[in-house]
Chains A and B, each alone.
Chain A
């Protein structure tokens, strides 16, 4: 009798518990609206008694116990009832993309590039209209859809080349190169006159390679190029007579590898080690965003030798550099109103008064804030940032980019392909560019875009 009862009870409870789990998750949560708009918030004055537990997803796993905990302490001294927990994610893009498909992934995350602009409103709370942010923040249009801003940049990155001044001096380079061929000549000088590796590709780390894609805007000097022209141009990867545009960027890489001006064995490069090597003067330069400069300066005793120069492409004798927003903070649209308010207050604190951007080698997004010191080589350079796509064409770039499988800024494989072809001479550079053009054209056609 007892056994029988036990069996029944057990079966009922297991069924109840397990089905309960499933039903519980099916709840449709209501979107709560906030009372105060972002633009009216004043950190330290607005809603200081607010109560919230925030969870923030970040790609900067290295900063959680250092810089971030300082920021949290400073913020919670103003907002004692708010607790903030950071969760670091190493494989950030793809892990967060998966998590976003659930509703309760946390309160704040750095919006991954995989979210198309037209989908932003499904996942993130709007910070307000672009007409406001346009006048106060730089780069605030990078996560914008239909004139609403869904993400604010943590900082801006300038695209250039990190180099070791001591190596350049030893090689006899007196003036910074400003065209691809001059740059290649400089690398040759480093190879001839010093023991350093002229340029280090960081091929093995692979995510480092997408840095090359970020020069596209700077290589043309046209803020409309990436989001408005690239999608309409026929064969955008073809050679331009003045050696500008995307072709020139990848040409520089191909030729450098092909002429033996990079490390011998790219398959076994080591990202952490490369920072130490360039600091010690065993590497001449590396093609990376400005975020890398503080890390490299810290990686050894010769931090003062590390400097940053613009990418060597000149349009009509003038150099441009892309200014790109780093990851943008987005607030979960499904969080409670209090959590959203607290999250936005914290984001306002981070972007306006924490000093995060300067500490991480970026440009602050608040207009007229001062730039970091190492950008002194950029005084004659014009910074350009991408204009948003025209209304109705917001999806074009993402769609074509993914469909062509070139996936600029996301998939390092296309840059890796150049290095592989150059090192073994398996393909001529123009051949690769023809393939890219073909893939791009095919994607444009399937999207129904008439090229000109």
Chain B
């Protein structure tokens, strides 16, 4: 009797195990476990720790004290935090320029002019260099009397009338923005090229028959087709502008009014040992970026639904 029941039990286990669905689940769990474990260990665990830290008055070592929302209140009342956020405006404007330039190059290069792959590689190259090196390159580039100044002097402008690029508070943030454009433009360009390549080329031929020039082709065929990518790039640029770090950190170390939000956060955490406030700053920044991210998702959803309506209309028409 009991032997029978046992064999029934074994039979049941055997059956469930050999079930295709169960096997699938086991395989999925097994393979997901490692990456998920690493993700939790290196991303979520530190993140939740950081949120916890933001409620304490603490240094890296030593005792800590629960202060509730004090750190958050301080983030919003500190002048330097707000100034740092204002600096993002420079980088935001810069990213509009960056996207415009990237669109221009992407359009030109996707029509395969002579040496297009060479130029494509050249323009993408800065994105491959690590940010710290880019910082050092530009530090020497802008040094008074060095690379940039000697190029300008070739045009007969005396050294005395060339400004100090990194010292002059009227221009130094723009100078840094230009470096940032140089660094990230290639990335946008590659994305745009990818999008433009997917545009149906027969439309160009049709447009050419109708007498469209290059500008018309761009304005009425390319731009509408890659609208989603452009918008997404714009939104990515906003979160990028909020979290600028390497360029100002390496080139000016935040001096002469170039201390961005991240540079300030680093200073507070590592030099003043105010880990609590720095964590609160990070949480505030994360919230801002999350808002931007959600907007991006909503816009994409909206545009996708529009697109599917148009294409379904088209399909009906062709029937």
- Is chain B a partner of chain A in the same complex? yes
A204 at the binding interface (Cβ < 8 Å): yes
User: Most A CB atoms within 10 A — which of B62, B146, B257?
Assistant: B62
- Which stretch, A11-19, A33-41, A166-174, touches the partner chain B? A11-19
B34 at the binding interface (Cβ < 8 Å): yes
Q: Mark A384-415, 1 if CB is under 8 A from B, else 0.
A: 00000000000000000010010100111100
- Is the Cβ of A268 less than 8 Å from the Cβ of B143? yes
* A contacts with B, residue count (CB < 8 A): 41
CB within 8 Å for A114 and B59 given contacts A266-B167, A402-B273, A411-B272:
yes
- Is the Cβ of A268 less than 8 Å from the Cβ of B267? no
CB within 8 Å for A413 and B267 given contacts A7-B23, A206-B253:
yes
**What is the CB-to-nearest-CB distance from A235 to chain B, in angstroms, rounded to a whole number?**
21
- Which secondary structure characterizes the binding site on chain A? helix
Partner of A101, one of B27, B61, B169: B61
- Is the Cβ of B30 less than 8 Å from the Cβ of A268? no
Partner of A8, one of B26, B169, B270, B274: B26
- Is the Cβ of A264 less than 8 Å from the Cβ of B255? no
- Is the Cβ of B62 less than 8 Å from the Cβ of A11? no
A305 at the binding interface (Cβ < 8 Å): no
User: Most A CB atoms within 10 A — which of B164, B267, B271, B274?
Assistant: B271
Distance between Cα atoms of A422 and B68 in the complex (Å): 39
Distance between Cα atoms of A97 and B167 in the complex (Å): 33
Q: Mark A92-110, 1 if CB is under 8 A from B, else 0.
A: 0110011011000000000
Partner of B255, one of A97, A402, A420: A420
Chain B residues in 8 Å Cβ range of A4: 17-18, 23
Of residues 263 through 282 on chain B, the ones whose CB sits less than 8 Å from some CB of chain A are 267-268, 270-274
Chain B residues in 8 Å Cβ range of A420: 255-257
User: How many contacting A-B pairs (Cβ < 8 A)?
Assistant: 98
Q: Mark B10-25, 1 if CB is under 8 A from A, else 0.
A: 0000000110000100
Chain A residues in 8 Å Cβ range of B169: 424, 426
Chain B residues in 8 Å Cβ range of A63: none
B66 at the binding interface (Cβ < 8 Å): no
A203 at the binding interface (Cβ < 8 Å): yes
B139 at the binding interface (Cβ < 8 Å): yes
**What is the CB-to-nearest-CB distance from A382 to chain B, in angstroms, rounded to a whole number?**
32
Chain A residues in 8 Å Cβ range of B26: 7-8, 11
- Known A7-B27, A100-B61, A423-B167; further 11 A-B contacts with Cβ < 8 A: A3-B23, A8-B26, A14-B33, A14-B34, A18-B33, A114-B59, A116-B62, A265-B166, A268-B144, A268-B146, A413-B271
What are 25 A-B residue pairs whose CB atoms fall within 8 Å in the complex? A3-B23, A4-B17, A7-B26, A11-B30, A97-B61, A114-B60, A115-B61, A115-B62, A116-B62, A123-B61, A264-B164, A265-B143, A265-B144, A267-B166, A267-B172, A267-B256, A268-B140, A268-B166, A402-B59, A402-B272, A402-B273, A405-B274, A407-B271, A416-B253, A424-B169
